[in-house]
Each structure stands twice: as structure tokens, then as C-alpha cells.
Amino acid sequence: MPSHAPCADNRVGTGSALKSGHKNGVIVPEQPGKSAIEVRGVRKVFGTGESQVAALDTVSVSIRENEFFTLLGPSGCGKTTLLRLIAGFDFPSAGEILLYGQDIAPLPPFKRPVNTVFQNYALFPHMTVAENIGFGLEMLGKPKAEVKARVAEMLKLVKMEALSNRRTSQISGGQQQRVALARALAPQPKVLLLDEPLSALDFKLRKEMQIELKRLQHETGITFIFVTHDQEEALTMSDRIAVMSSGKILQVGTPWDIYDKPAERFVADFIGETNFLTAAISGMGNGKARATLKSGATIDATVAEGFQPKDNATVVVRPEHAKLTNGKGDLSGTVENIVYFGTDTHIHVRLDSSEAFTVRQQNTRSAGCGFERGDKVGISIGNDAAQVLRD
């Protein structure tokens, strides 16, 4: 995290900026704020006897106040199950879910100050846009005048004033999405849960809504818990990400932590493109170590938390953190394939150790990538480019 502090300001500023008095241009270090949600040792088992499946296998995570927190993972990893447990649509088989210190796990959904934006929006088809948005407040027994004022405020927030009297079937998908957001935000929940809300939108609209969601979180200062299987979406929107697989949380961290310092092979593989190398680790200390690659070269590397010394450790290097050279590098090999991507070029190299390695090189207009298929090349790995995985 500290090594990336310059980029941190647009992330940390969201939400917490409203309350901590964000100073223009001054980087506010990320404070480990109060926990909004604390999940403690939660298990969720479906089925009985032999066919029992643990959708969540003893998961613990702490989600801070005003944070844009993302649960990221492939389908079936348990992310939606965890969301449903926090919302109260399901109850954990074991463990506690604390909302500002109070265990809400046994409460029914209508007693939790937590609202959900559903994947299919679940707007009430027999009500107008305004009636949908006011529904939660009405159920809370708020006076009519207050409901009306709040609905007007929400309509303005999501820019839907003009369509307030439309039926929800008479508006577009993107507009339905906005109404679903406004409806969930109107009762001012302590935490807003979003269950893959952008997956039904087309690409352009999805990009727009990503920015819109960040803006809404910033303006309302509400803690967002966002579920997605889209790693790019997670990286661009989140303050912190929890990567999940097979009912477990593998790693929790900022997008940079997750991308640059993946703890496990699954995390490194699921997010972005990565090169995996086998290495012997020596001189461990202070979260750093020396990694001796099969080529014989020794490079500096950061070490994942929980790494246990072993013979063949896995080291990951992102394709953009390595450089192709004509001379000798840390690694050597032969160019197998060159793929042009517009902004950059991917050069696939077969190392002398027979491992595969990809280098991503920024393109310029004036020159080609400078290499051809069959070229004997060296690869130099930058300082602070390698990470040792714990598995």
C-alpha cells in the first residue's frame, strides 16, 4: 500500500472524504476506520447428509465504514451467499455477522438497516417509479411529507425526476437500474448491498453506471458491498476487494495489493494476466526475500503473508513489469508469438527453462515492437516486480 500512495487519493477520498474533510491535493493516509460489518467465522451449509455442500467455509472479514468493498470471485464461490446472509435472505449455519457491533445474523431482513440492489432490480411492476422509491420509507412508517421530500431528493440524485410517474415497465434497463439504486438508498441504510447490479447492462452503459455508482457512494457516504465476477469492475471501483473461491476468502486488500501482491495462485490468475515462475527462496525477512530463478538469476521479491519456506516456491511477475532486451537479462528465451493490442503488444516468450513468459510492451506510433518471432531474447525483471505466492 505505501508504495502506491500517490494513486491512493482518488480511492480513499470516496465516502470518507465527506466526513474527514478531504484536503485538496493532500493525500490522506487510509485510516483503518470503524467496522460497519464484521463477519466472524461464518459457515453456510446447504443440503443434508452426504449431499452437504459448504457454500461458505468459515469466512471472516471486516468491512469498514464508508468503504466501497467488493466481493470478487467466479460463480459459485460463495460471494452471493455471503451477501444474502448480510441482507438476511438466508441465515448462517454458524458464526456471527456484526453490524456496528450488533449481531444481526438471526434478524429477518425487514429488521436490518441494510438494503439491497438486486441483480434483476426486482422493481415492483404495479407501482410507479416514485412509489417504488418511497416504498421502504413508507414501510418504516415515515410521515407522508417526509417520504415525498426524500423521494424527490432521490429522484434528483439519480436524475430520474422527469420519469417519476412512469410504470417501471415503461423505462429502459439503465433507468430501472437507477430506480433500483434510489429505492435502496432512500431509507438511508447503514450498508448498501449490490448483487452484480451491472451485469444486465450493455458495455457502454455499464461503464457509465460504474462511474455513477462511485459518485453515489461519494455523495451518500454509505458503505457499499458490491458483488461481482468482473475483475476489471472490481479493480476500478473498489476501495478494497475480497477475492473468493470455493467458499473461502483468499485475500483482502486494496486493488493494488490484489493486483501487485497476490497471495495465492488463484488470485494472481483470476485478476489480470500473470507469469508464473518457479524459484528457490532465500534471505527472507521484513516481507522481502531473494528469489533464485531456474535461469540462475536472483531477483528481489516481496513475499505473501503466510508463506512457509519450501523448495519450489512460485513467483509471479506481471507482463508489464518485465522488459524484453536484446542482451542478457534475468531470464532468456525465444520469441514464440507477437500479438498487437493497439495500446500495447504482448510478446510470448518460451524460456530456456521451457516455462512460458509474456511481456507487455507499450506501443509507439513511430516504431514496431523491435522483436520478431524466433529472436533470442533476454528478459529483465524490474525492481519490485516479483511476488512470492504462499501456495
Partner 1 sequence: MASRFDIRRQTGFTTIAMICFFALYLPIVTLVVYAFNAGSSIAIWEGVSLRWFYQAWNNDQVVDASIRSLQIASVAATIATIVATMAALATTRTKPYPGLGFKYAFINQPLMVPEIVTAVALLIFFSRIKIWTGYSGLGYLMAAHTAFCIPFAYLPIRARLENMDLSLEIAAADLYATPWKAFRRVTFPLLWPGILAGLMLAFVISLDDVVITEFVKSGGQDTLPTYMLGQFRRVITPEINAISTVFLLISILIVTVFFFISRKKDQE
- Which residue in the set 4, 22, 58, 89 belongs to the binding site for partner 1 (CB under 8 A)? 89
Bridging pattern class, strands 275-285 and 102-103? unpaired
Q: How far apart are CA 221 and CA 98, in angstroms?
A: 20
Sign of CA dihedral 290, 293, 299, 303: negative
**CB-based contact 238:255 (threshold 8 Å):** yes
> Contact region for partner 1 (CB under 8 A) — 71-79, 109-117, 220-228, 306-314?
109-117
**33: which 3 cell numbers?**
476506520
Least CB distance to partner 1 at residue 166 (A): 11
**CB-based contact 334:375 (threshold 8 Å):** yes
Least CB distance to partner 1 at residue 173 (A): 15
Site for partner 1 contains 110 (CB under 8 A): yes
Least CB distance to partner 1 at residue 136 (A): 4
Site for partner 1 contains 122 (CB under 8 A): yes
Site for partner 1 contains 53 (CB under 8 A): no
Identity of the residue, 154 or 297, whose beta carbon is nearer to partner 1 in the bound complex: 154
Least CB distance to partner 1 at residue 151 (A): 13
Identity of the residue, 130 or 351, whose beta carbon is nearer to partner 1 in the bound complex: 130
Q: How far apart are CA 38 and CA 16, in angstroms?
A: 18
Identity of the residue, 183 or 390, whose beta carbon is nearer to partner 1 in the bound complex: 183
Site for partner 1 contains 108 (CB under 8 A): yes
Q: How far apart are CA 355 and CA 68, in angstroms?
A: 38
Q: Which of residues 177-206 bind partner 1 (CB under 8 A)?
A: 183-184, 187
**CB-based contact 227:69 (threshold 8 Å):** no
- Which residue in the set 124, 232, 283, 376 belongs to the binding site for partner 1 (CB under 8 A)? 124
**CB-based contact 373:306 (threshold 8 Å):** no
Q: Which residues fall within 8 angstroms of residue 130, CB to CB, at 6 or more apart?
A: 151, 155, 164, 165
Map residues 320-359 to x or -, x wherever contact with partner 1 holds by CB under 8 A. Answer: ----------------------------------------
Site for partner 1 contains 105 (CB under 8 A): no
Least CB distance to partner 1 at residue 170 (A): 10
Closest CA to 384 of 269, 268, 303, 286: 303
DSSP secondary structure letters along 129-189: HHHHHHHHHHHTT--HHHHHHHHHHHHHHTT-GGGTTSBGGGS-HHHHHHHHHHHHHTT--
Rounded to a whole number of angstroms, the distance between the first and last alpha carbons of the chain is 22
- Which residue in the set 135, 226, 259, 357 belongs to the binding site for partner 1 (CB under 8 A)? 135
Least CB distance to partner 1 at residue 164 (A): 16
> Contact region for partner 1 (CB under 8 A) — 133-141, 231-239, 268-276, 341-349?
133-141
Residues that bind partner 1 (CB under 8 A): 87-89, 108-110, 114-116, 118, 120, 122-126, 135-136, 139-140, 167, 183-184, 187
